Structure 1
């Protein structure tokens, strides 16, 4: 009697999916990423960093939001899921984790992001309908969006850094160039940015005032010491001032040749 082998259920990972991509799919995704990279480089050329002395004016002016938007348009890191385009794709594991995937609607997504995609599709519908990208390229871009939202959901506003904002903003820009209907996400992220700038202004102002207060205290202490020193050495100080008033217009060597008292 031949014993039946137990069937082992294989688990598909995000890495496995990308390994199965065609050359056309890879080139289409890379084309979108290159466009965003080009736009990012242009924004860098147009940007002018502010001098440290202008920081206070920058933070307290109404222009700080506009200026910060220019900083965001410089962008963060662009994903590079494929090291090269060959018959068998060379997948970059940094951008293609070996995590299990789940099916949500017409898309496969990293499992821990699936509740996010379910919510997005339920509330906004398929935001990729205007995009002409291939289905699996859309799938990759959806994963990027859900990963950014996942990061936002696990980050308190008070803990946000400029690098994180750059990363999130760059992701939305990629979706924008891919013709996804993503304005709702920009609107929400802009609110987060306003809060970030508010906290940054408060921190800079508080730190600036604290430094000024310390400097004032140090100057007051120095003034006290000088007054005390002047009082303790008043007779000596008067003698020195008398000598100064007499000798100030003399040549320094005159006293070597003439007696003076």
Structure 2
């Protein structure tokens, strides 16, 4: 029986899967940006970014919003993200038009050169082997979006708190004054696993991998003082 966590992401026996800085940057710029983020690289976005900086400096614009949507695997982040995006878009409509970005690290794992082979031969290693570069690509994507003053929804399981903190700093230090918000999905373990089954019933090879991710994320959950609840079914 294969052991899922031979090493932590990108460490030990998985270290050789971590790409060099140059290769990671090349894949991001030549593959990920054209396929996933081309709407952030149009010439008019340069004008939008300059206008955003000027308006923010003059206090005439509330500035773009970055929402970090946090929850363990299966919590319902992908289903909740459109609701948050709609709310952000409604608020932005009262200001000037802005680009929007929905950013997810898992989306970028498939761009890793080793991902396809690992998913086919050792699916339990596909995520930890490619995770470090996927997280780097997420940070690059956030930096690109922030440089354009885009409204952002960023999904995170928070398995790597330092990465989460870096993303917050990235937006708060942007020349465009971002309003940074954190939305936390507090979902019981049973419902989290149900979410995994419901969303990935047709991708059985990845079920064990994602379930193990959820197991790692639960021990770090702590009590909190709630401000609002979003229930399954979209009621608040």
* TM-score, structure 1 as length reference: 0.23
Structure (1 or 2) with the larger CA radius of gyration: 1
Higher relative contact order (CA 8 A, sep 6+): 2
Q: Which has the higher strand share?
A: 2
Larger proportion of helix: 1
Q: What TM-score comes out, normalization by structure 2 length? A: 0.25
